[in-house]
Amino acid sequence: MTAFSSLGLAEPLLRAVQDNGYQYATPIQAQAIPVILAGRDVLAAAQTGTGKTAGFTLPLLQRLLDGEPAKNRSVRALVLTPTRELAAQVAESVATYGQHLTLRSAVVFGGVSINPQMMKLRGGVDILVATPGRLLDLQGQRAVDLSQVEILVLDEADRMLDMGFIHDIRRIIKLLPPRRQNLLFSATFSDEIRQLTKGVLYNPVNIEVAPRNTAATSVQQTVYRVDKSDKADILSYLIQSGGWEQVLVFTRTKHGANKLAQQLERDGITSAAIHGNKSQGARTRALADFKSGQVRVLVATDIAARGLDIEQLPHVVNYELPNVPEDYVHRIGRTGRAGASGEAISLVSPEERKYQLDIERLLKRELDVRPVPYFEPGEKKPMQALDEVPARAKPAPRPQSARRPAQHAQRKPAAPRGNEHAAHRGTAQKSTSAKPANAGARPSGKPGAFRSGNTLADSATPTNPQRRRRPRPKSSPQ
Protein backbone atom coordinates (compact mmCIF):
# COMPACT_ATOMS: atom_id res chain seq x y z
CA MET A 1 0.00 0.00 0.00
CA THR A 2 1.19 3.49 -0.85
CA ALA A 3 0.90 6.27 1.73
CA PHE A 4 -0.19 9.73 0.60
CA SER A 5 2.85 11.17 2.35
CA SER A 6 5.12 9.41 -0.18
CA LEU A 7 3.45 10.90 -3.28
CA GLY A 8 4.99 14.37 -3.06
CA LEU A 9 1.83 16.25 -2.03
CA ALA A 10 2.08 19.57 -0.19
CA GLU A 11 1.47 19.77 3.54
CA PRO A 12 -1.97 21.54 3.32
CA LEU A 13 -3.20 18.77 1.02
CA LEU A 14 -1.87 16.00 3.27
CA ARG A 15 -3.59 17.64 6.23
CA ALA A 16 -6.91 17.73 4.33
CA VAL A 17 -6.51 14.05 3.41
CA GLN A 18 -5.88 13.12 7.02
CA ASP A 19 -8.83 15.22 8.19
CA ASN A 20 -11.06 13.02 6.02
CA GLY A 21 -9.64 9.82 7.50
CA TYR A 22 -7.45 8.69 4.59
CA GLN A 23 -3.90 7.49 4.97
CA TYR A 24 -3.19 5.24 2.01
CA ALA A 25 -3.81 5.89 -1.66
CA THR A 26 -5.77 3.61 -3.94
CA PRO A 27 -3.96 2.07 -6.94
CA ILE A 28 -5.30 4.68 -9.38
CA GLN A 29 -4.27 7.50 -7.04
CA ALA A 30 -0.81 6.05 -6.43
CA GLN A 31 -0.14 5.86 -10.19
CA ALA A 32 -1.84 9.07 -11.36
CA ILE A 33 -0.77 11.64 -8.75
CA PRO A 34 3.01 11.54 -9.46
CA VAL A 35 2.46 11.65 -13.24
CA ILE A 36 0.11 14.65 -13.01
CA LEU A 37 2.47 16.46 -10.67
CA ALA A 38 5.15 16.00 -13.32
CA GLY A 39 2.99 17.88 -15.84
CA ARG A 40 2.30 14.94 -18.17
CA ASP A 41 -0.94 14.31 -20.03
CA VAL A 42 -2.85 11.32 -18.63
CA LEU A 43 -5.33 8.82 -20.04
CA ALA A 44 -6.57 6.86 -17.01
CA ALA A 45 -9.14 4.06 -16.83
CA ALA A 46 -10.26 2.82 -13.43
CA GLN A 47 -13.32 1.16 -11.99
CA THR A 48 -15.98 3.39 -10.54
CA GLY A 49 -15.50 3.83 -6.81
CA THR A 50 -11.72 3.46 -6.80
CA GLY A 51 -11.01 7.10 -5.95
CA LYS A 52 -10.22 8.49 -9.39
CA THR A 53 -11.82 11.87 -8.51
CA ALA A 54 -9.26 12.43 -5.76
CA GLY A 55 -6.68 11.03 -8.15
CA PHE A 56 -6.84 14.17 -10.27
CA THR A 57 -8.17 16.66 -7.69
CA LEU A 58 -5.18 16.48 -5.33
CA PRO A 59 -2.42 17.00 -7.93
CA LEU A 60 -4.54 19.62 -9.71
CA LEU A 61 -4.74 21.69 -6.53
CA GLN A 62 -1.02 21.41 -5.95
CA ARG A 63 -0.08 22.48 -9.48
CA LEU A 64 -2.24 25.59 -9.10
CA LEU A 65 -0.43 26.65 -5.92
CA ASP A 66 2.33 28.04 -8.09
CA GLY A 67 1.48 30.76 -10.55
CA GLU A 68 -0.56 33.94 -10.77
CA PRO A 69 -4.14 33.98 -9.41
CA ALA A 70 -7.00 34.00 -11.87
CA LYS A 71 -7.93 37.38 -13.34
CA ASN A 72 -11.40 38.74 -14.05
CA ARG A 73 -13.62 36.14 -15.73
CA SER A 74 -10.61 33.87 -16.35
CA VAL A 75 -10.18 30.21 -15.38
CA ARG A 76 -6.94 28.36 -14.64
CA ALA A 77 -8.23 24.77 -14.46
CA LEU A 78 -11.37 23.45 -16.19
CA VAL A 79 -13.10 20.19 -15.26
CA LEU A 80 -15.86 19.00 -17.62
CA THR A 81 -18.44 16.45 -16.47
CA PRO A 82 -21.49 14.98 -18.26
CA THR A 83 -24.08 15.42 -15.47
CA ARG A 84 -25.01 17.89 -12.76
CA GLU A 85 -24.62 15.29 -10.02
CA LEU A 86 -21.08 14.45 -11.08
CA ALA A 87 -20.23 18.15 -11.33
CA ALA A 88 -21.49 18.69 -7.79
CA GLN A 89 -19.50 15.70 -6.56
CA VAL A 90 -16.26 16.92 -8.14
CA ALA A 91 -16.83 20.44 -6.80
CA GLU A 92 -17.35 18.99 -3.32
CA SER A 93 -14.09 17.05 -3.65
CA VAL A 94 -12.25 20.23 -4.69
CA ALA A 95 -13.64 22.10 -1.69
CA THR A 96 -12.82 19.21 0.68
CA TYR A 97 -9.19 18.76 -0.32
CA GLY A 98 -8.58 22.48 -0.87
CA GLN A 99 -9.98 23.61 2.48
CA HIS A 100 -6.55 24.74 3.69
CA LEU A 101 -5.71 26.58 0.46
CA THR A 102 -6.62 30.04 -0.82
CA LEU A 103 -7.64 28.86 -4.27
CA ARG A 104 -11.08 29.85 -5.54
CA SER A 105 -13.41 27.36 -7.19
CA ALA A 106 -16.91 27.34 -8.70
CA VAL A 107 -19.34 24.86 -10.22
CA VAL A 108 -21.80 25.67 -13.03
CA PHE A 109 -24.50 23.52 -14.62
CA GLY A 110 -27.95 23.86 -16.10
CA GLY A 111 -31.30 23.59 -14.38
CA VAL A 112 -30.67 26.60 -12.12
CA SER A 113 -30.46 30.36 -12.62
CA ILE A 114 -27.44 31.50 -14.59
CA ASN A 115 -27.16 34.92 -12.92
CA PRO A 116 -25.52 33.78 -9.64
CA GLN A 117 -23.03 31.76 -11.69
CA MET A 118 -22.15 34.83 -13.75
CA MET A 119 -21.59 36.84 -10.57
CA LYS A 120 -19.33 34.10 -9.18
CA LEU A 121 -17.18 34.08 -12.32
CA ARG A 122 -16.87 37.87 -12.53
CA GLY A 123 -13.80 37.95 -10.32
CA GLY A 124 -12.24 34.84 -11.92
CA VAL A 125 -11.76 31.37 -10.41
CA ASP A 126 -8.82 29.02 -10.19
CA ILE A 127 -10.89 25.86 -10.71
CA LEU A 128 -14.15 25.68 -12.63
CA VAL A 129 -16.24 22.50 -12.68
CA ALA A 130 -18.87 22.65 -15.41
CA THR A 131 -21.19 20.75 -17.71
CA PRO A 132 -20.55 21.50 -21.41
CA GLY A 133 -23.92 23.09 -22.20
CA ARG A 134 -23.95 25.63 -19.39
CA LEU A 135 -20.29 26.49 -19.96
CA LEU A 136 -21.00 27.40 -23.58
CA ASP A 137 -23.98 29.50 -22.45
CA LEU A 138 -21.72 31.46 -20.10
CA GLN A 139 -19.06 31.84 -22.75
CA GLY A 140 -21.64 33.09 -25.23
CA GLN A 141 -22.62 35.82 -22.77
CA ARG A 142 -18.95 36.71 -22.22
CA ALA A 143 -19.20 35.72 -18.57
CA VAL A 144 -16.13 33.47 -18.67
CA ASP A 145 -12.77 33.61 -20.44
CA LEU A 146 -11.20 30.24 -21.29
CA SER A 147 -8.07 31.58 -22.99
CA GLN A 148 -6.01 31.23 -19.79
CA VAL A 149 -6.80 27.59 -18.94
CA GLU A 150 -3.70 25.71 -17.82
CA ILE A 151 -5.22 22.28 -17.10
CA LEU A 152 -8.19 20.54 -18.78
CA VAL A 153 -9.87 17.53 -17.16
CA LEU A 154 -12.47 15.40 -18.95
CA ASP A 155 -14.21 13.25 -16.34
CA GLU A 156 -16.39 10.38 -17.59
CA ALA A 157 -15.48 11.22 -21.16
CA ASP A 158 -17.20 8.14 -22.55
CA ARG A 159 -20.50 9.21 -21.04
CA MET A 160 -20.16 12.66 -22.55
CA LEU A 161 -19.84 11.05 -25.97
CA ASP A 162 -22.87 8.82 -25.31
CA MET A 163 -24.93 11.87 -24.36
CA GLY A 164 -23.99 13.69 -27.55
CA PHE A 165 -21.57 16.23 -26.06
CA ILE A 166 -18.83 15.55 -28.60
CA HIS A 167 -19.59 18.70 -30.61
CA ASP A 168 -19.74 20.84 -27.45
CA ILE A 169 -16.42 19.43 -26.30
CA ARG A 170 -14.77 20.27 -29.60
CA ARG A 171 -16.16 23.82 -29.44
CA ILE A 172 -14.79 24.23 -25.93
CA ILE A 173 -11.36 22.86 -26.88
CA LYS A 174 -11.10 25.46 -29.64
CA LEU A 175 -11.53 28.17 -26.99
CA LEU A 176 -8.61 26.86 -24.93
CA PRO A 177 -4.95 27.77 -25.39
CA PRO A 178 -2.93 25.20 -27.36
CA ARG A 179 -0.39 24.69 -24.58
CA ARG A 180 -2.04 23.08 -21.56
CA GLN A 181 -2.09 19.85 -19.56
CA ASN A 182 -4.88 17.39 -20.42
CA LEU A 183 -6.29 14.68 -18.15
CA LEU A 184 -8.93 12.12 -19.13
CA PHE A 185 -10.41 9.95 -16.39
CA SER A 186 -13.21 7.41 -16.76
CA ALA A 187 -14.37 4.01 -15.59
CA THR A 188 -14.58 2.76 -19.19
CA PHE A 189 -12.79 3.71 -22.39
CA SER A 190 -14.06 2.59 -25.76
CA ASP A 191 -12.03 2.59 -28.94
CA GLU A 192 -13.92 5.72 -30.01
CA ILE A 193 -12.69 7.53 -26.90
CA ARG A 194 -9.12 6.57 -27.62
CA GLN A 195 -9.52 7.84 -31.17
CA LEU A 196 -10.83 11.17 -29.84
CA THR A 197 -7.92 11.58 -27.45
CA LYS A 198 -5.45 11.62 -30.32
CA GLY A 199 -6.45 15.18 -31.08
CA VAL A 200 -6.57 16.28 -27.43
CA LEU A 201 -3.73 14.58 -25.55
CA TYR A 202 -0.04 14.99 -26.24
CA ASN A 203 2.09 11.92 -25.61
CA PRO A 204 -0.16 10.77 -22.73
CA VAL A 205 0.67 8.30 -20.00
CA ASN A 206 -1.80 5.42 -20.09
CA ILE A 207 -2.92 4.22 -16.66
CA GLU A 208 -5.12 1.15 -16.19
CA VAL A 209 -5.29 -0.33 -12.72
CA ALA A 210 -7.69 -3.07 -13.86
CA PRO A 211 -8.73 -4.63 -17.18
CA ARG A 212 -10.88 -2.38 -19.29
CA ASN A 213 -14.63 -2.38 -18.66
CA THR A 214 -14.59 -4.52 -15.52
CA ALA A 215 -16.57 -4.28 -12.31
CA ALA A 216 -15.21 -4.25 -8.79
CA THR A 217 -14.61 -7.74 -7.41
CA SER A 218 -16.21 -6.74 -4.10
CA VAL A 219 -19.64 -6.47 -5.77
CA GLN A 220 -21.75 -9.64 -5.79
CA GLN A 221 -23.71 -9.74 -9.06
CA THR A 222 -26.97 -11.71 -9.23
CA VAL A 223 -29.59 -12.15 -11.96
CA TYR A 224 -33.25 -13.04 -11.39
CA ARG A 225 -35.08 -14.11 -14.55
CA VAL A 226 -38.65 -12.89 -14.26
CA ASP A 227 -41.58 -11.77 -16.35
CA LYS A 228 -41.78 -8.08 -17.12
CA SER A 229 -45.22 -7.76 -15.50
CA ASP A 230 -43.92 -9.26 -12.22
CA LYS A 231 -40.91 -6.97 -11.75
CA ALA A 232 -42.55 -4.41 -9.47
CA ASP A 233 -43.99 -7.09 -7.18
CA ILE A 234 -40.69 -8.97 -7.01
CA LEU A 235 -38.72 -5.80 -6.24
CA SER A 236 -41.13 -4.86 -3.47
CA TYR A 237 -40.90 -8.39 -2.06
CA LEU A 238 -37.08 -8.42 -2.12
CA ILE A 239 -36.87 -5.06 -0.35
CA GLN A 240 -39.38 -5.94 2.35
CA SER A 241 -38.36 -9.54 2.97
CA GLY A 242 -34.65 -8.68 2.94
CA GLY A 243 -35.02 -5.66 5.19
CA TRP A 244 -33.15 -3.43 2.72
CA GLU A 245 -32.95 0.11 4.07
CA GLN A 246 -31.01 1.81 1.25
CA VAL A 247 -31.53 0.68 -2.35
CA LEU A 248 -30.58 2.40 -5.60
CA VAL A 249 -32.77 1.23 -8.50
CA PHE A 250 -32.04 1.95 -12.16
CA THR A 251 -34.57 2.19 -14.99
CA ARG A 252 -34.11 3.01 -18.67
CA THR A 253 -36.74 5.75 -18.98
CA LYS A 254 -37.86 8.77 -16.97
CA HIS A 255 -41.50 7.70 -17.12
CA GLY A 256 -40.54 4.25 -15.87
CA ALA A 257 -38.68 5.80 -12.92
CA ASN A 258 -41.71 7.87 -11.89
CA LYS A 259 -44.09 4.94 -12.29
CA LEU A 260 -41.93 2.57 -10.24
CA ALA A 261 -41.42 5.10 -7.44
CA GLN A 262 -45.20 5.57 -7.20
CA GLN A 263 -45.76 1.81 -7.14
CA LEU A 264 -43.26 1.34 -4.30
CA GLU A 265 -44.89 4.16 -2.37
CA ARG A 266 -48.25 2.34 -2.64
CA ASP A 267 -46.53 -0.73 -1.21
CA GLY A 268 -45.45 1.26 1.84
CA ILE A 269 -41.80 1.79 0.75
CA THR A 270 -40.62 5.40 0.84
CA SER A 271 -39.22 6.18 -2.61
CA ALA A 272 -38.12 9.07 -4.81
CA ALA A 273 -37.26 9.38 -8.50
CA ILE A 274 -34.34 11.29 -9.97
CA HIS A 275 -33.84 11.93 -13.70
CA GLY A 276 -33.25 14.62 -16.28
CA ASN A 277 -36.81 16.02 -16.24
CA LYS A 278 -36.59 16.81 -12.53
CA SER A 279 -35.53 20.29 -11.52
CA GLN A 280 -32.12 20.64 -9.93
CA GLY A 281 -33.72 21.48 -6.60
CA ALA A 282 -35.85 18.34 -6.69
CA ARG A 283 -32.86 16.19 -7.65
CA THR A 284 -30.75 17.65 -4.86
CA ARG A 285 -33.49 17.12 -2.25
CA ALA A 286 -34.14 13.54 -3.38
CA LEU A 287 -30.44 12.68 -3.19
CA ALA A 288 -30.08 14.34 0.23
CA ASP A 289 -33.11 12.48 1.60
CA PHE A 290 -31.74 9.22 0.27
CA LYS A 291 -28.35 9.74 1.88
CA SER A 292 -29.92 10.71 5.21
CA GLY A 293 -32.19 7.66 5.26
CA GLN A 294 -35.50 9.54 4.93
CA VAL A 295 -36.04 7.85 1.56
CA ARG A 296 -35.54 4.10 1.40
CA VAL A 297 -35.39 3.65 -2.37
CA LEU A 298 -33.99 6.03 -4.98
CA VAL A 299 -35.09 5.28 -8.55
CA ALA A 300 -32.73 6.79 -11.12
CA THR A 301 -31.94 6.77 -14.83
CA ASP A 302 -28.51 6.26 -16.36
CA ILE A 303 -27.97 10.01 -16.81
CA ALA A 304 -28.23 10.48 -13.06
CA ALA A 305 -26.02 7.46 -12.36
CA ARG A 306 -22.80 9.40 -12.83
CA GLY A 307 -21.93 11.35 -9.73
CA LEU A 308 -24.07 9.45 -7.23
CA ASP A 309 -21.41 9.00 -4.58
CA ILE A 310 -23.06 7.33 -1.60
CA GLU A 311 -20.85 5.86 1.07
CA GLN A 312 -21.50 2.24 2.07
CA LEU A 313 -24.41 1.83 -0.39
CA PRO A 314 -25.32 -1.85 0.07
CA HIS A 315 -27.76 -2.58 -2.78
CA VAL A 316 -28.08 -1.64 -6.45
CA VAL A 317 -30.93 -3.04 -8.54
CA ASN A 318 -31.13 -3.04 -12.33
CA TYR A 319 -34.91 -2.93 -12.71
CA GLU A 320 -34.25 -2.82 -16.45
CA LEU A 321 -30.95 -3.79 -18.02
CA PRO A 322 -29.23 -1.01 -19.99
CA ASN A 323 -28.95 -1.46 -23.74
CA VAL A 324 -25.35 -0.17 -23.55
CA PRO A 325 -23.20 -2.76 -21.74
CA GLU A 326 -20.76 -0.15 -20.39
CA ASP A 327 -23.61 1.50 -18.49
CA TYR A 328 -23.98 -1.69 -16.47
CA VAL A 329 -20.44 -1.20 -15.14
CA HIS A 330 -21.26 2.36 -14.09
CA ARG A 331 -24.53 1.34 -12.46
CA ILE A 332 -23.16 -1.38 -10.23
CA GLY A 333 -20.14 0.81 -9.49
CA ARG A 334 -22.38 2.83 -7.15
CA THR A 335 -21.95 0.02 -4.61
CA GLY A 336 -18.78 -1.66 -3.39
CA ARG A 337 -16.91 1.65 -3.41
CA ALA A 338 -13.47 2.09 -1.84
CA GLY A 339 -13.12 -1.63 -1.22
CA ALA A 340 -16.45 -2.06 0.59
CA SER A 341 -18.72 -4.99 -0.26
CA GLY A 342 -21.95 -4.55 -2.17
CA GLU A 343 -24.72 -6.38 -3.99
CA ALA A 344 -25.96 -5.75 -7.54
CA ILE A 345 -29.23 -7.46 -8.55
CA SER A 346 -30.67 -7.49 -12.07
CA LEU A 347 -34.30 -8.33 -12.89
CA VAL A 348 -34.08 -9.75 -16.41
CA SER A 349 -37.18 -10.43 -18.49
CA PRO A 350 -37.09 -12.71 -21.56
CA GLU A 351 -36.89 -9.77 -23.95
CA GLU A 352 -33.81 -8.46 -22.08
CA ARG A 353 -31.88 -11.69 -22.43
CA LYS A 354 -29.85 -10.24 -25.32
CA TYR A 355 -28.73 -7.35 -23.11
CA GLN A 356 -27.53 -9.82 -20.50
CA LEU A 357 -25.47 -11.65 -23.10
CA ASP A 358 -23.88 -8.36 -24.22
CA ILE A 359 -22.96 -7.54 -20.62
CA GLU A 360 -21.46 -10.97 -20.05
CA ARG A 361 -19.48 -10.61 -23.25
CA LEU A 362 -18.13 -7.25 -22.03
CA LEU A 363 -17.27 -8.58 -18.57
CA LYS A 364 -15.93 -11.84 -20.04
CA ARG A 365 -17.81 -13.82 -17.44
CA GLU A 366 -21.29 -15.23 -16.82
CA LEU A 367 -23.56 -13.62 -14.25
CA ASP A 368 -24.90 -15.72 -11.40
CA VAL A 369 -28.54 -16.66 -12.15
CA ARG A 370 -30.75 -17.52 -9.18
CA PRO A 371 -34.44 -18.38 -8.83
CA VAL A 372 -36.67 -15.90 -7.03
CA PRO A 373 -37.68 -17.32 -3.63
CA TYR A 374 -41.36 -18.26 -3.33
CA PHE A 375 -42.12 -16.79 -6.72
CA GLU A 376 -42.39 -18.16 -10.22
CA PRO A 377 -43.49 -16.17 -13.28
CA GLY A 378 -47.22 -16.45 -13.90
CA GLU A 379 -48.03 -17.77 -10.41
CA LYS A 380 -49.06 -16.01 -7.20
CA LYS A 381 -47.56 -12.73 -6.12
CA PRO A 382 -44.69 -13.08 -3.64
CA MET A 383 -46.57 -11.85 -0.55
CA GLN A 384 -49.56 -14.03 -1.39
CA ALA A 385 -47.30 -17.02 -1.82
CA LEU A 386 -46.15 -16.50 1.78
CA ASP A 387 -49.81 -16.20 2.94
CA GLU A 388 -49.05 -12.74 4.26
CA VAL A 389 -51.73 -11.13 2.13
CA PRO A 390 -54.91 -13.26 2.01
CA ALA A 391 -56.69 -13.39 -1.29
CA ARG A 392 -59.96 -11.50 -1.41
CA ALA A 393 -62.88 -13.94 -1.62
CA LYS A 394 -65.71 -13.35 -4.03
CA PRO A 395 -69.09 -12.55 -2.38
CA ALA A 396 -71.54 -15.46 -2.23
CA PRO A 397 -74.61 -15.21 -4.46
CA ARG A 398 -77.71 -13.82 -2.79
CA PRO A 399 -80.53 -16.28 -2.09
CA GLN A 400 -83.52 -16.27 -4.38
CA SER A 401 -85.84 -15.07 -1.62
CA ALA A 402 -83.59 -12.13 -0.79
CA ARG A 403 -83.52 -10.81 -4.27
CA ARG A 404 -85.39 -7.63 -4.98
CA PRO A 405 -88.77 -8.32 -6.59
CA ALA A 406 -89.33 -7.13 -10.08
CA GLN A 407 -90.74 -3.65 -10.23
CA HIS A 408 -92.90 -4.29 -13.27
CA ALA A 409 -94.40 -7.42 -14.58
CA GLN A 410 -93.17 -8.59 -17.88
CA ARG A 411 -95.41 -7.35 -20.60
CA LYS A 412 -96.97 -9.75 -22.99
CA PRO A 413 -96.31 -9.15 -26.64
CA ALA A 414 -99.10 -7.31 -28.36
CA ALA A 415 -101.33 -9.29 -30.58
CA PRO A 416 -100.61 -8.87 -34.29
CA ARG A 417 -102.67 -6.31 -36.01
CA GLY A 418 -104.86 -7.32 -38.77
CA ASN A 419 -104.18 -5.76 -42.14
CA GLU A 420 -107.27 -6.72 -43.97
CA HIS A 421 -107.42 -3.18 -45.26
CA ALA A 422 -103.90 -3.27 -46.70
CA ALA A 423 -104.96 -4.78 -49.99
CA HIS A 424 -102.79 -3.60 -52.83
CA ARG A 425 -103.03 -4.36 -56.51
CA GLY A 426 -105.76 -6.84 -55.88
CA THR A 427 -103.70 -8.99 -53.48
CA ALA A 428 -104.43 -9.16 -49.75
CA GLN A 429 -101.49 -9.24 -47.29
CA LYS A 430 -101.53 -12.04 -44.77
CA SER A 431 -102.15 -11.07 -41.15
CA THR A 432 -98.89 -11.76 -39.31
CA SER A 433 -96.44 -10.01 -37.02
CA ALA A 434 -93.38 -11.40 -38.76
CA LYS A 435 -91.44 -9.20 -41.13
CA PRO A 436 -91.38 -10.08 -44.80
CA ALA A 437 -88.28 -11.88 -45.97
CA ASN A 438 -87.20 -8.85 -47.97
CA ALA A 439 -88.30 -6.21 -45.46
CA GLY A 440 -84.76 -4.90 -44.93
CA ALA A 441 -83.64 -5.20 -48.56
CA ARG A 442 -82.24 -2.23 -50.38
CA PRO A 443 -84.43 -0.81 -53.14
CA SER A 444 -83.08 -1.30 -56.62
CA GLY A 445 -84.37 1.96 -57.95
CA LYS A 446 -87.22 0.32 -59.91
CA PRO A 447 -90.68 0.92 -58.50
CA GLY A 448 -92.30 -2.15 -57.04
CA ALA A 449 -89.09 -4.18 -57.13
CA PHE A 450 -86.74 -5.30 -54.29
CA ARG A 451 -83.36 -6.96 -54.14
CA SER A 452 -83.43 -10.40 -52.61
CA GLY A 453 -80.07 -12.10 -52.45
CA ASN A 454 -78.46 -11.82 -55.90
CA THR A 455 -81.79 -11.75 -57.78
CA LEU A 456 -84.31 -9.08 -58.45
CA ALA A 457 -87.86 -10.03 -57.51
CA ASP A 458 -91.14 -8.18 -57.83
CA SER A 459 -92.92 -7.54 -54.57
CA ALA A 460 -96.62 -7.81 -54.11
CA THR A 461 -96.69 -5.08 -51.48
CA PRO A 462 -94.70 -1.91 -51.01
CA THR A 463 -92.31 -1.51 -48.08
CA ASN A 464 -94.54 0.99 -46.28
CA PRO A 465 -98.13 0.35 -47.29
CA GLN A 466 -100.52 3.17 -46.54
CA ARG A 467 -103.57 2.26 -44.53
CA ARG A 468 -106.73 3.28 -46.34
CA ARG A 469 -109.51 4.79 -44.34
CA ARG A 470 -112.87 3.03 -44.43
CA PRO A 471 -115.31 5.20 -46.36
CA ARG A 472 -117.81 6.88 -44.13
CA PRO A 473 -121.39 5.75 -44.85
CA LYS A 474 -123.60 8.31 -46.43
CA SER A 475 -126.22 9.65 -44.15
CA SER A 476 -129.79 8.94 -45.14
CA PRO A 477 -131.83 11.95 -46.13
CA GLN A 478 -134.00 13.43 -43.41
CA distance linking residue 164 with residue 134, whole number of Å: 14
Higher-confidence residue: 214 or 261? 261
Give the least confident one: 56-65, 161-170, 466-475: 466-475
pLDDT at 467: 52
Out of 7-16, 132-141, 201-210, 378-387, least confident range: 378-387
pLDDT of residue 338 exceeding 90: no
| 155-164, 219-228, 348-357, 434-443: least confidently modelled range | 434-443
With a cut of 70, say whether residue 472 has pLDDT above it: no
Whole-number pLDDT of residue 333: 79
Half-sphere exposure of 286 (CA within 13 A, CB side): 23
Return d(Cα 28, Cα 187) in angstroms, integer: 11
- Cα dihedral 198, 199, 200, 201 sign: positive
Per-residue pLDDT tens digits for 277-327: 888 788 888 888 998 889 999 999 886 656 666 777 889 999 999 988 888
pLDDT at 369: 93
What are the structural domains, with CATH classification, of the chain?
2-208 (3.40.50.300), 219-385 (3.40.50.300)
Average pLDDT (56-64) is: 95
Separation of alpha carbons 264 and 256, rounded Å: 12
Predicted confidence band at 392 (pLDDT cuts at 50, 70, 90)?
Answer: very low
Q: Which residue has the higher pLDDT, 303 or 176?
A: 176
